[in-house]
Structure 1
Amino acid sequence: MSRRTPNPYRPGFNQAPARLVGRDAILAAAAEALEIAAFDGRTPRPLLLVGPRGVGKTVLLGEIATVAAQGHGWPTVAVEIRPGTPFTAELVERLRDAATLLRQATVEKGGRLRVSGGKVSAKVFGVGGEVDVVRSAAGSAAVPLDEALSDAADAATACGGGLVITVDELQLADRAELANLAAVLQQHVADHWPLVVAGAGLPSLRERDRTVTYLERGEWHELGLLEPADTREALVAPAADAGRPMDEAAADVLTRASGGYPYAVQVLGHHAWRASHGQERIGVVHACAALSAAQRDLSAGLYASRWNDASPKEREYLAALAHLPEGAGGGDVARELGQPTSGVSYLRDRLIKKGTLFPERGALRFLVPGMARWIREQADA
């Protein structure tokens, strides 16, 4: 029996790929923002990452936190917004924790953070960091966001450090609550805090920033599909690093099948690795086996969830596009539906904002590869 080698591909939510490719510009922008806050005495513009699901926004927020921890020793206060749930109380609580940690932490040899007494893990400070959190008797009292943020920023300044705040799923935020957060952050830009803010959300977030000046003037980054060369690297490099190289022909098959969609890259790589168990290389036969397995995987997950998320009218639009030749545009879909283009353009726009479709050189494409075929099969079943 051959020894099992860990699968280097990581499909799933918030799992950083073995090779993060095609996002160098965003990571460079984050590194620059951290340097502005750390060395220039200025609070940089917020970094805002927008794109459909499955392109790595959450992973990139985690990478920004890692860069802050490893490069500067700064903690990250991370919040993920949930549907219909206010996030300010959670943000305040985590800011208070960060302020406590910043005041009590001492740096030992090797960059390890430690204080006396009971310890809790504080990975946000860097690998292996440990600090002690001590709560006062008034710890349960409600604290305004402005006060909690000011306290954390003052603590960071006092110890010569800084702070990162990441907020995920921004498009789910209540408009008034998001405006309040933006107003508090904007108010203190002139205070030159060592603070970097990064947020992520679906493309619909663009609609919300129009009433929030702080966000409107942020540094926006659109995340989309990977270029073919980056897609290939994301497939080939992890296999080589793990000791089971991928043949050129196999890489060709998987690169084309993935369509550059980061989540599909990981799913296809994962199944190609499983299919090649016990072999020295990943060949075409394993890549072809991965196509079928990945199709079943995506059918049960992304295809079904995006279809169920669509309204009846949006499903009609998707079905019409799925039955048209590749390269069809919005006008072609309208004719297929027997409608003027202006009569169904709102459906096109909604599906693009949801991340189900995306425009490319006058054509409309499904973001998740293989979804058009799945829709056709559903219609024929």
Structure 2
Amino acid sequence: MARTANPFRPGFNAAPPAFVGRDRLLDAVREALAVAALDGRTPRPIVITGTRGVGKTVALGEAAVLAATDHGWPTVHVEVRPGRDFTPLLTERIVAAGHLLQHTTADDRRHPVVTGGRIGASALGVGGEVEVHLERREPGPADPLEAALRGTMRVAMAEGAGLVLTLDEVQYAQRAELAGLTAILQEHMADGWPLVVLVAGLPSIREPRRTVTYLERGEWHELGLLTRDEAEQALREPAADAGRPLEPDATRELATASGGYPYAVQLYGHHAWRASAGSDRILREHAVAALGAARRELEEGLYVARWNDASEREREYLGAVARVLARTGEATGGAVAAELGKAATEVSYLRDRLIKKGTLYTEGPRLLFITPGMAEWVAGR
């Protein structure tokens, strides 16, 4: 039997076939693009926060798709790396985008994201690529990043076009370097550059010592877990589109197991598709078989990674949360502190750290593990 492509994509940074539950963010992107393209103003930056696996990088990609398909604008994308300056790479790609704008038409630009000298279009499924040859020049006295932005914006405005700039993993950026970029952006707000800026990072970028004024005044969007209906939609639509629909009870089984965590939704859907090979539908028995396979993968991957990322004191706190959940079904900060024999104020910093890391999250007064099944795994250690 010929293999049928699995529509679910559990890899990080992999765009899911159904990007659900993020309508408010996508509407904000459309509005920012309209402000820049039609109103002649530079919109406020859009800042996306959330724990790992909730779709921040995917959201940046969706913004690039909207810019290309709706306006013919390219996107310059840079992922910040720990301990490395991002400004030189950003400068180079902004210059490349200026060449692209100068030497292509709007129709040609219905695809590209500038990630290097060669600009690929495969991410949007249209094929082809544009090769940009940059002329090496000696840097002038002006700041290279500002000069690159000035030049590219001048070309964009002459061509009746614009640019989207996306900066990912911004929690790794040095504050001084980030402040340098935002100072340039703030200085030129009055120039009406057709420039839409989106940055994404972990919740820690909200900390006063990490953020900068320009971003504080941006439009903030925190991505969290999907609702039950959204999780079911994210499972149901790709399976149906790929020709192997999910039975309702199978959908419910998988959505419940996922806990609404977007990465887990894709992982459970992936294993249910594999378990149903040879069938024309995904049945509950396939979903049940998928639970064990997905759980093993979570145990060997995310659970271990997040446990290893925790300090000894944080592990003690996680163990207390897991024990309280196992015993009572509900954990609060006070109950966890009592389990540790401490006052709540003595261990609240551990709670806050683990929330910022994305290992725990709050639902009202309740404390929960964001990765489904991790509480049981920690309790069993």
TM class by smaller structure: over 0.9
1:373 has 2:370 as partner: no
Q: Aligned residue for 1:54?
A: 53
When the two structures are aligned, how many residues end up with a matched partner?
372
Instruction: Please give the alpha-carbon distance, in whole angstroms, between the structure 2 residues aligned to 1:96 and 1:121.
Output: 12
Following superposition of structure 1 onto structure 2, how do residues 117-266 of structure 1 map, counting pairs within 5 Å? 121-123=119-121, 127-128=126-127, 130-138=129-137, 144-208=144-208, 212-266=212-266
Please state how far the C-alpha of 1:111 moved relative to its aligned partner: 6.4
Please state how far the C-alpha of 1:123 moved relative to its aligned partner: 2.8
Q: Deviations over 1:207-241 (max 9, x none)?
A: 14776211000000010000110000011111111
Q: Aligned residue for 1:348?
A: 351
Q: 1:136 to 1:339 in 2, by over 3 A?
A: same
Q: 1:76 to 1:337 in 2, by over 3 A?
A: same
Q: 1:71 to 1:321 in 2, by over 3 A?
A: same
Q: Aligned residue for 1:281?
A: 281
Q: Aligned residue for 2:10?
A: 11
Q: Deviations over 1:186-207 (max 9, x none)?
A: 1111100000000100000001
Please state how far the C-alpha of 1:377 moved relative to its aligned partner: 2.1
Please state how far the C-alpha of 1:281 moved relative to its aligned partner: 1.1
Please state how far the C-alpha of 1:327 moved relative to its aligned partner: 1.8
Conservation of the 8 A alpha-carbon contact between 1:121 and 1:129 = no
SS at match of 1:328: coil
**Which AA in structure 2 matches 1:365?**
L
Conservation of the 8 A alpha-carbon contact between 2:73 and 2:109 = no
SS at match of 2:76: strand
Q: Aligned residue for 1:63?
A: 62
Instruction: Please give the alpha-carbon distance, in whole angstroms, between the structure 1 residues aligned to 2:138 and 2:294.
Output: 49
Instruction: Please give the alpha-carbon distance, in whole angstroms, between the structure 1 residues aligned to 2:277 and 2:290.
Output: 12
Q: Mean Cα displacement is larger for which, 132-141 or 164-173? A: 132-141
Q: Deviations over 1:353-377 (max 9, x none)?
A: 0110001021000000000111122
**Which AA in structure 1 matches 2:334?**
G
Q: 1:326 to 1:274 in 2, by over 3 A?
A: same
Q: Deviations over 1:27-68 (max 9, x none)?
A: 010001000000001000000000000000000000000100
**Which AA in structure 2 matches 1:354?**
K
Please state how far the C-alpha of 1:129 moved relative to its aligned partner: 6.3
Q: Deviations over 1:301-359 (max 9, x none)?
A: 11010000000000000001001132210100000000000000000000000110001
SS at match of 1:79: strand
Instruction: Please give the alpha-carbon distance, in whole angstroms, between the structure 1 residues aligned to 2:20 and 2:91.
Output: 34
Instruction: Please give the alpha-carbon distance, in whole angstroms, between the structure 2 residues aligned to 1:174 and 1:181.
Output: 11
**Which AA in structure 1 matches 2:96?**
D
Q: Mean Cα displacement is larger for which, 235-244 or 202-211? A: 202-211
SS at match of 1:9: coil
Q: Aligned residue for 1:116?
A: none
Q: Aligned residue for 1:39?
A: 38
Please state how far the C-alpha of 1:132 moved relative to its aligned partner: 4.9
Conservation of the 8 A alpha-carbon contact between 2:72 and 2:107 = no
Q: 1:9 to 1:132 in 2, by over 3 A?
A: closer
SS at match of 2:132: coil
SS at match of 1:323: helix
Q: 1:186 to 1:94 in 2, by over 3 A?
A: same
Choose from 334, 337, 341 the match for 1:334: 337
Instruction: Please give the alpha-carbon distance, in whole angstroms, between the structure 1 residues aligned to 2:256 and 2:111.
Output: 45
Choose from 358, 361, 369 the match for 1:358: 361
- Provide TM-score, normalisation by structure 1: 0.93
**Which AA in structure 1 matches 2:22?**
R
Q: Mean Cα displacement is larger for which, 208-217 or 148-157? A: 208-217
Conservation of the 8 A alpha-carbon contact between 2:40 and 2:194 = yes
**Which AA in structure 1 matches 2:354?**
L
Please state how far the C-alpha of 1:136 moved relative to its aligned partner: 2.3
Q: 1:111 to 1:230 in 2, by over 3 A?
A: closer
- Provide TM-score, normalisation by structure 2: 0.93
Unpaired runs of 5+ residues, structure 1, are 114-118
SS at match of 1:89: helix
SS at match of 1:106: coil
- Identity level (%): 57
**Which AA in structure 1 matches 2:97?**
A
SS at match of 1:245: coil
**Which AA in structure 1 matches 2:256?**
R
Please state how far the C-alpha of 1:152 moved relative to its aligned partner: 1.0
Conservation of the 8 A alpha-carbon contact between 1:250 and 1:284 = yes
